[in-house]
Chains A and B, each alone.
Chain A
Amino acid sequence: MTVERISVIGAGLMGHGIAQVCAQAGYQVVMRDLSEELVNKGLERIRKFLSDGVHKGKVSQADADSTLGRILATTSLEEAARDTDLIIEAIVEDMEQKKQLFRELDRLCAPHVIFASNTSYLSITEMAAVTGRPDRFIGMHWFNPPQLMRLIEIPRGQDTSEETVATIVELAKRLGKVPAVCSDSPGFIVNRLLQPFYNEAMSLLEEGVASAQDIDTALKAGGGFRMGPLELRDFVGLDTALRGTEVIYNALRHDKFKPRQCLIRLVKAGHYGRKTGRGFYTYGQE
């Protein structure tokens, strides 16, 4: 199957970026959120990203205009479900809300429509099971910011068909991204492999082997990592970081994934990293 029209559900941090990438690649896109205000906020972010690109000479004015012209913003789920080939779901990370949405979409969408979820940690198979199309249900896990990060991780559910996998792999390539297929397992691959990266850094800190700064420096100067593990956690937000780690640990139950005490303590203290001015590091009054 070839995808021609795409509907992105959720116009938040990820949804607006995904809609932009799809429209820039020439697809007709419908972007849906719950209120006018939220949809407009998403559109505004796209406009800003594109006009920054025009100023930097990375995008032509004509391309920016036609990209925006291909995005239809709406609050109506019916409109997003009509005349589409693919749903990319990027709403809040909550299993019940996602299931509810997919149940409705399953009713509204034509049978050929593929459902893809941008979930970071939830089971694709479990979501697929509430629809009548588990063979046309798949993960499409983008990375933040979607406009710049090249990977799309593609977890296949228990019953996802080969044809669905092939369609999404092909689409990812057309979007200029690097697709990588994997099984539906907790945290998929990237977030799973990042757990020991972060956890070992935190264990080193707890054991007093080195300071936070020296740990980060070791990875950057020693191996060309762009950012150290601890500054990365501060950047993403320690509350978000802990939640992700807990999901993987609760599912896999192995000590290597267990949230480290220093992280739990910082979160309890309300030190969430950059956004609160304190985390593994202290940030200046900004």
Chain B
Amino acid sequence: MAIQNVLILGENTVGRAIGDMMSQAGLSCEVANRAALADQDLAPVDLVIDALPEPTAEKTLSLEQIGRRLPERTILATLATSFGLTGLASSSRRPDRFVGLHFQPPAPDTRLIQIVRGLDTSETTIAACRELVASLGRTAIVVKDSPGLVYQRVTAAVMNEAIYVLWYGLASREEIDSMMKYGANFPMGPLEMADSLGLDVLLDTLEELCRVIGPEHRPCPLLRQMVSAGHLGKKTGKGFYDYS
């Protein structure tokens, strides 16, 4: 099935950025909020992308409602990044046509799209998503529903260890970053990376990894401290570096 007609649920920055990406690629795309959905004709829609913010009680309800009204063939995708896609899939009542799509920030300049397979997602659904990503001119990878997916999990582990190294006083922040840039060809030092991601986001990712995967992901106490202090990185003007 070729995806032509896309409905994005959630009139927010991310929803709109993804909408732009779709329109630029020549797909017919609409961005709507939940209230407007009631009057929407869903018959032509091939793919619904849920861009509603988490947490999930409300989201689950919406997905359940919309799942009931969608045509048989329609794929329901969610942007959710955290582990739990399979749970959402079952409440949508179309677990085989339910999938996760993770657009690597910053959308709409995303290069990588991770297609997330829930426990019951069908091959047909995955194939349709691959085709969609190709038509968007982006790179697709297919991953199982798992905390942090691939990119976030690998980089979070490195950032966490970099914070431990700083906490133990083994090297200064500038030295840690320049070591990884000039000794390991990293595109950015791990502490700069953490500051741009947001230290709260990093902490959440690590906590989930720690809970679901194992204690090797235990967040460094220094990271917790910085989040408690409200130093969340670039967005607050202060993280491992000062941005004021």
Which of B146, B155, B165 has a CB less than 8 Å from the CB of A189? B165
B187: chain A residues at CB < 8 Å are 223-226
Task: List A residues 207-260 near B (Cβ within 8 Å).
Answer: 207-211, 214-215, 217-219, 221-227, 229, 254-256
Contact of A222 with B111 in the complex, beta carbons under 8 Å? yes
Which of A149, A196, A204, A217 has a CB less than 8 Å from the CB of B139? A217
- Among the 9-residue stretches B19-27, B32-40, B120-128, B156-164, the one with 4 or more Cβ atoms under 8 Å from chain A is B156-164
Which of B144, B154, B182 has a CB less than 8 Å from the CB of A200? B154
Question: Number of contacts between A and B (CB, 8 Å)?
Answer: 143
A151: chain B residues at CB < 8 Å are 178-179, 181-183
Shortest Cβ gap from B215 to chain A (Å): 7
Shortest Cβ gap from B202 to chain A (Å): 13
Bound form: Cα–Cα A150–B182 in Å: 5
Which of A200, A223, A224 has a CB less than 8 Å from the CB of B153? A200
With A151-B182, A190-B179 already in contact, the answer to whether A210 and B157 are too (CB < 8 A) is no
CB-nearest residue of chain B relative to A196?
B157
CB-nearest residue of chain A relative to B187?
A224
Q: Assign chain A's interface to a size class.
A: 35 or more
- Among the 9-residue stretches A99-107, A179-187, A264-272, A274-282, the one with 4 or more Cβ atoms under 8 Å from chain B is A179-187
Contact of A185 with B170 in the complex, beta carbons under 8 Å? yes
B215: chain A residues at CB < 8 Å are 255
B143 an interface residue at 8 Å Cβ cutoff? yes
CB-nearest residue of chain A relative to B154?
A200
Q: Assign chain B's interface to a size class.
A: 35 or more
A182: chain B residues at CB < 8 Å are 170-171, 175, 179
A192 an interface residue at 8 Å Cβ cutoff? yes
Bound form: Cα–Cα A181–B170 in Å: 9
Which of A193, A207, A219, A254 has a CB less than 8 Å from the CB of B151? A219
The 9 closest A-B pairs by CB, nearest first: A151-B183, A196-B157, A151-B182, A214-B141, A224-B187, A256-B216, A182-B171, A218-B150, A222-B151
Starting from the known contacts A180-B182, A183-B170, A210-B150, 14 additional A-B residue pairs (CB-CB under 8 Å) come to A143-B183, A153-B179, A183-B171, A189-B175, A189-B176, A193-B165, A197-B157, A197-B158, A199-B157, A208-B144, A209-B144, A221-B141, A254-B216, A256-B217
What are 28 of the A-B contact pairs (CB < 8 Å)? A143-B182, A150-B182, A151-B179, A151-B181, A153-B183, A178-B178, A189-B170, A193-B161, A193-B165, A193-B176, A196-B161, A199-B157, A207-B146, A209-B144, A209-B150, A210-B143, A211-B142, A214-B142, A217-B112, A217-B141, A218-B112, A218-B149, A218-B150, A221-B141, A223-B151, A225-B186, A226-B185, A255-B214
